[in-house]
Amino acid sequence: MTCPICAYQWCWLCGGTYTKYHYMKYNILGCPGQNYSYKRRNILTIYLIRFLWLIFLIILYPFAVILWFPLFITYYINDNMFPYCWKKWHRIIIAIISFCFGIVVDIIIVPLTIIATPIIVIYVITKEF
């Protein structure tokens, strides 16, 4: 909905600020999938979904932060730098070395993401509401 006086846009379901991402399926801060749905969820269901997504993300976040970078480095080195590598055991050795390198670099990245993530989340929440 749009205010005729100030042109402010807000969601008629939850009353939050409307953005182009408000109705996207995985937007836990908006009304996911509610724009063209015939079944409207009440506001308590929307807040319950937001809360469950938040708990889910809090539980999975440490695993994602710790394992993502070493796995990415291993994939990148094996597929991009040595796509047609020598023998199979050479690729395995390169994978082990690149995974260990990823873990060493992860020691630097994890504290930065732990510091940056709450700042980004607070920024997105304050901008959304």
Model confidence pLDDT, tens digit, residues 10-48: 777 777 777 777 777 666 666 766 666 556 667 677 778
Task: Look at residue 49 and tell me if it is in a domain.
Answer: no
DSSP the chain: -B-TTT--BB-TTT-PBP-TTTT-TT-TTS-TT-SS-SSPPPHHHHHHHHHHHHHHHHHHHHHHHHHHHHHHHHHHIIIIISTT-S-HHHHHHHHHHHHHHHHHHHHHHHHHHHHHHHHHHHHHHHHH-
Split into its structural domains, the chain has a count of 2
For 35, the domain range is: 1-41
Residues 118 and 83 in one domain: yes
Task: Look at residue 82 and tell me if it is in a domain.
Answer: yes
Residues 63 and 120 in one domain: yes
**Residues 86-126 pLDDT 10s:** 677 777 787 888 888 888 888 888 788 778 888 887 887 77
pLDDT for 95 equals 80
Task: Look at residue 16 and tell me if it is in a domain.
Answer: yes
Residues 12 and 71 in one domain: no
pLDDT at 62 over 80: no
Residues 22 and 83 in one domain: no
pLDDT at 129 over 60: no
pTM of the model: 0.42
